Structure 1
Amino acid sequence: MYIKARNFRCRSGEIDLIARDGRYLVFVEVKYRHTSGSGGASAAVNYKKQKMISRASLFYLVRYGYPEDTPCRFDVVAIDGQNIQWIKNAFDYCG
């Protein structure tokens, strides 16, 4: 996997990391919580956040001329204190 963009911003929102993993274009949300209380870092990527990331990813695809059938994946890197969890394919596109 290699990083294509960091902190991509548009009117629709922000994507922390955009990477290429084989044939997949991967949109990564990174969440940090000092402790795992209140559900932890992964719980912070709720439906509203997923929808914002989805809209921003669509903008990225159109902006940089990716074909409509580009395989994409949405990952979450959840950091709770010292515990790091990488959740591949954490959610589907929310259109």
Structure 2
Amino acid sequence: MASSSTGFNSGLDIGKSYYVATANPAPDHPALASDVEADLVVVGGGCTGLSAALHAAERGLKVVLLEGGKIGWGASGRNGGQMIPGLRK
């Protein structure tokens, strides 16, 4: 996966990271292009946002998750496992 030359996090050279190089290919998800109704809107697709969205959906809520970049790429994906210390080993 090559990093984009423009756009969100373009200066970070994401394509050369260990996490991107060893991850399974991410599925494409459509951008929000029209109005949508939801019981819960979660802004941010890091560990906390993904967990909130998953748990709400499992309880039957209609959930919309908004993320401006790649899912899990922000601090949750680059923290070296500080949130879950065993992952950095």
TM-score range, shorter chain: under 0.3
Larger Rg over CA atoms:
2
TM-score where L is the length of structure 1:
0.25
TM-score (norm 2): 0.26
Report which of the two has the higher share of helix: 2
> Normalized per residue, which structure has more strand?
1
Report which structure shows greater RCO (CA 8 Å, sep ≥6): 1
